Chain A
Amino acid sequence: ETGVTQTPRHLVMGMTNKKSLKCEQHLGHNAMYWYKQSAKKPLELMFVYSLEERVENNSVPSRFSPECPNSSHLFLHLHTLQPEDSALYLCASSQDDGRGIGGYTFGSGTRLTVV
Chain B
Amino acid sequence: AQSVAQPEDQVNVAEGNPLTVKCTYSVSGNPYLFWYVQYPNRGLQFLLKYITGDNLVKGSYGFEAEFNKSQTSFHLKKPSALVSDSALYFCAVRDTTGGFKTIFGAGTRLFVKA
A74 within 8 A of B: no
| Max count, chain A CB within 10 A of own CB: residue among B43, B45, B106 | B43
Residue of B with least CB distance to A96: B100
For A58, the chain B residues whose CB sits under 8 A away are 101
Q: Is the CB of A45 within 8 A of B101?
A: yes
For A103, the chain B residues whose CB sits under 8 A away are 34, 46, 49
A26 within 8 A of B: no
* Total residue contacts A-B, CB cutoff 8 A: 60
B: contact size bracket: 20 to 34
Q: Is the CB of B32 within 8 A of A108?
A: no
Residue of A with least CB distance to B34: A103
Chain A at the B interface: SS class: loop
Q: Is the CB of A106 within 8 A of B43?
A: yes
**Interface size (A, Cβ < 8 Å)?**
27
| Max count, chain B CB within 10 A of own CB: residue among A40, A48, A90, A99 | A99
Q: Is the CB of B44 within 8 A of A90?
A: yes
In the complex with contacts A40-B106, A43-B90, A101-B51, A106-B101 CB distance below 8 A: no
22 A-B pairs with CB atoms under 8 Å apart are A2-B45, A6-B43, A42-B103, A42-B106, A42-B107, A43-B44, A45-B102, A50-B100, A90-B44, A91-B43, A92-B43, A92-B44, A99-B94, A99-B102, A100-B34, A101-B32, A101-B94, A104-B36, A104-B46, A104-B102, A106-B36, A109-B42
A contact residues vs B (CB 8 Å cutoff): 2, 4, 6, 40-43, 45, 48, 50, 55-56, 58, 90-92, 98-101, 103-109
